[in-house]
Amino acid sequence: MSPKSKSTLKSEAPVKFYRRIAFGFIALTGVLIILAAYFILSRAEIAIKVVEEPIRTDFMINVKESEVVNPESPEADGVVGDFEAEKVSLSGKVIETTVSGGKEYKTSGKKVAQGEVGGKVTIFNNYGKDQPLVATTRLLSKEGILYRLKKNVTVPVGGRVEAEVYADSPTEEAGKLGPTRFTIPGLWEGLQEKIYAQSFEPMHGANQEIKFATEEDIKNGFDALNQVLTDQVMDNLKTQMKSGGEVLGKVIIKNIDEKKANLKAGETGEKFSVNMTLKVVGVAFPKKDFELVVKDQLQKIVSEDKELANIDYAGLTFVVEGYDLRARKASMMVHAEGKISMKTDNIIFDEDRFIGLDKEKIMQYLRVYPEIESATVEFSPFWVKKVPHLKNNVKIIIQK
């Protein structure tokens, strides 16, 4: 071998050595990149649905006005009912007022008038003394149709009475006559302008269906008017509050000073009217402040390992137990309900507890806790079968 060949072999040996080192470094780098990608791309998402348990509480709350009336004021007539002096307080308004009104409603009773054409009239007396009228007294409508009184009546001075009449001739026109005015021909002409009759409902014909008021009609009429009047008081209270938000409250009927209907049960008529005068106590307060108090009271009975999940604000009820009109405050019993669940920061939901676990082991772990209803586990990419060791790649979602 020539000296030149020996020199060439010696120069190629280091090149091969460095080439091997380079390939080894590249291979190692590739492995490291793959491992890094594995850890960086590995993801686990665990969605846990916790059980919501019902919770309820009853508590007393005082509604107070910031400004109170003079204790000697005639409208502030003292304390009524139960009053808790040292309870949760809420700023609001407490008033006493009188409200009156009347409404007209339709009757629902139906019956068939047998064998007689007639109806009902109201007789007015604007004369200076009582006016007796005997049965069969004539009443002549302005249309010229004659009717007669069925029974004796006496019309008081400046007053009125209702009376039933029947047609002197039971014609079709007599059975269809609408509301009209009647003179009483038996009185002297100058008196007929002061003592007269008026019908407010149509007459009925023989064997014709007529309407009458039932006991339920009158009861429902009073109930509906009661609601209208108390709603008026509540609307006035809300206006006075000027809270800038929704207002809640109650109106308590203290006394019914007047309650009357123009028809009794069984009396005929298409409509009837009711009138009432109520003395009431109204209590009002801001809705948002009330809900904050409710939340605080529910929170007080939640254990340390649980949290308030939601509050049934729509189901809140409150009853006025008592009031002190001199001090302008009222005491209410409140009933509130809601739901509680495990705290989302509970240690059992810590990512460290899931690292390295596969789906089966995760489910076994969660089934130990009765407060957990269900769970789902998702890994990505497809090759990941266990929770990665990087906590940032583990997502725990708590569902309620």
Is the domain of 136 the same as that of 171? Answer: yes
Q: How confident is the model at residue 257 (pLDDT cuts 50, 70, 90)?
A: very high
In a domain, 304, yes or no: yes
Domain co-membership, 288 together with 160: no
When pLDDT is averaged across residues 300-318 and rounded to a whole number, the result is 93
What pLDDT score was predicted for residue 13? 60
| Residue 193 and residue 233 in one domain | no
- The mean predicted confidence, pLDDT, of the chain is 86
Q: Read off the pLDDT of residues 13-23 as tens digits, 9 standing for 90 and up.
A: 666 666 666 66
Q: What tokens appear for 54 in the block?
A: 């019902």
User: Which H, E and C letters describe 156-182, residue by residue?
Assistant: CCCCEEEEEEEECCCCHHHHHCCCCEE
Residues 365 and 245 in one domain: yes
Residues 324, 180, single domain; the answer is: no
Amino acid identity, residue 220? N
Compute the average pLDDT of residues 325-340: 94
Alpha carbon distance 351, 353 (integer Å)? 5
Question: At residue 73, does pLDDT exceed 50?
Answer: no
Q: Is residue 287 domain-shared with residue 391, that is, in the same domain?
A: yes
Question: Does a structural domain hold residue 349?
Answer: yes
**Residue 258: strand pairing partners:** 277
- 39 in a domain, yes or no? no
Q: Which of 206, 239, 267 is the last residue of a domain?
A: 206
Alpha helices in the chain, H assignment, sequence order: 3-41, 172-176, 215-241, 287-299, 359-367
Whether 35 has a pLDDT exceeding 70, the answer reads no
**Is the pLDDT score of 85 beyond 60?**
no
> Closest by alpha carbon to 132, among 199, 203, 184, 167?
184
Q: Is residue 263 part of a domain?
A: no
**pLDDT reported for residue 374:** 94
* Interval 155-201: pLDDT, tens: 999 999 999 999 998 888 898 899 999 999 999 988 999 999 999 98
Number of compact structural domains in the chain: 2
- Does 48 score more than 50 pLDDT? yes
Task: State the residue range of the domain holding 348.
Answer: 44-96+224-254+275-400
Q: What is the CATH number of the domain that holds 156?
A: 2.40.30
Q: Is the separation of the CB atoms in 157 and 130 below 8 Å?
A: yes
Q: Which residue type, as a one-letter code, is found at position 118?
A: G
Q: pTM for the full model?
A: 0.63
pLDDT for res 179: 94
Which pLDDT band, with edges at 50, 70 and 90, does 74 fall under? very low
Average pLDDT value for residue range 352-357? 92
What pLDDT shows up at residue 116? Answer: 81
Residues 78 and 140 in one domain: no
Q: Which helix (H) or strand (E) holds 62?
A: strand 53-64
> Do 194 and 250 sit in the same domain of this protein?
no
Nearest to 181 by CA among 209, 200, 194: 200
What is d(CA 311, CA 296) in angstroms, rounded to the nearest whole number?
Answer: 11
Q: Does any domain span residue 192? A: yes
When comparing pLDDT for 242 and 98, which is higher?
98
Among candidates 182, 180, 173, which has minimal Cα distance to 205?
Answer: 173
Q: Which residue shows structure tokens 């791309």?
A: 41
Whether 190 is covered by a domain: the verdict is yes
- Contact between 372 and 366 under an 8 Å Cβ cutoff? The reply is yes
Q: Position of tokens 């007053």?
A: 159
Q: What pLDDT does residue 153 have?
A: 96
Same domain? For 323 and 245 the reply is: yes
With respect to residue 301, please indicate whether it lies within any of the assigned structural domains: yes
Q: Are residues 244 and 381 in the same domain?
A: yes
Distances (CA, A) of 15 to 9, 12, 21, 25, 73: 10, 5, 10, 15, 113
Question: Based on the domain organization, do 308 and 359 belong to the same domain?
Answer: yes
Residues 248 and 126 in one domain: no
| Least confident segment among 218-232, 296-310, 333-347, 378-392 | 378-392
pLDDT on residue 21:
67
**What is the predicted pLDDT for the residue at 55?**
96
Q: Is position 79 within any domain? A: yes
Give mean pLDDT, residues 130-137. 95
* Largest pairwise CA distance in the chain: 170
More confidently predicted of 42 and 35? 42
